[in-house]
Structure 1
Amino acid sequence: MASGASPAQSPAESRSTDNNVGGNDSYPPQRHAGAVGLGPEYAKGASTGEKVDGWKEEMKGKILRKPEVVQHGHDLRTGAVKKQQMEDDSNPFQNADEERAATTAPEGTEKADRQQERRKSNLHVLGVRSATAVAG
């Protein structure tokens, strides 16, 4: 223990007591360990680039006299578009059952034959008769 801390004290406790040895209590104790203000609400609003793009689109809509383009630009600028996208993407596993990849080997290969044999043995263990076993 080179810093002079007793075995019962952690290095953080010894540092906090060492800082106050000189009598300089002008700084409050640190109660966080890093950047403050970055939490679950970080980057939920419109970024600077989105605000600029929204402003440009709003001006474009005003020049072309298209109220829907003006409204879309305003929504970009205020972060409403980003909020809507976050709500739409809230459950990425929502369509997981619909988008399954095939897990069987191409028919006629050795791997396909092994998979077929495993399926037959698994069905036999479970007490289920396969369609080929019933027919044969």
Structure 2
Amino acid sequence: MAKSEPKTKVTAVTPKDFIAALEDGTRKQDAEFLLKWMTKITGLKPKMWGPSIIGFGRYAYSYDSGHSGEMCMTGFSPRKANMVLYILPGYTDISEKLARLGKHKIGKSCLYIIKLADVDMKVLEEIVLFGVAHMRKNHQTWDA
């Protein structure tokens, strides 16, 4: 059976160019802020993963099914309905942090925020840094 190519991989588009093309408004302003903020707090260089994810760092994964690949350690995507933050280790042991975060919804490994003004940025920093540390401890990771 042929190995499938991952759909989400690093592209040549720059995160700044991607954000510049967004419609003006809160989502674009929040994306501009998150780009600088996540670069600063993670110490990682941002790259586009697929057409709409701005990712930081990368890690290798492998499933019991034999499927394996690489993905960003953390990142975000300014979607129409929500700002999506990718906290890839999921939400293990962070219910206390989520309780302090402010208005949000969660998915398996995603944090959905309508606007950054709805959340406590110090708590969001704790969550992002927890996720990056978890990835570094539990996976093969790279800073680029």
TM-score, length-scaled by structure 1: 0.18
Report the structure, 1 or 2, having the larger strand content.
2
Higher helix share: 1
Q: Which gives a bigger RCO, structure 1 or 2 (Cα 8 Å, sep 6+)?
A: 2
Larger radius of gyration: 1
TM normalised by structure 2 equals: 0.18
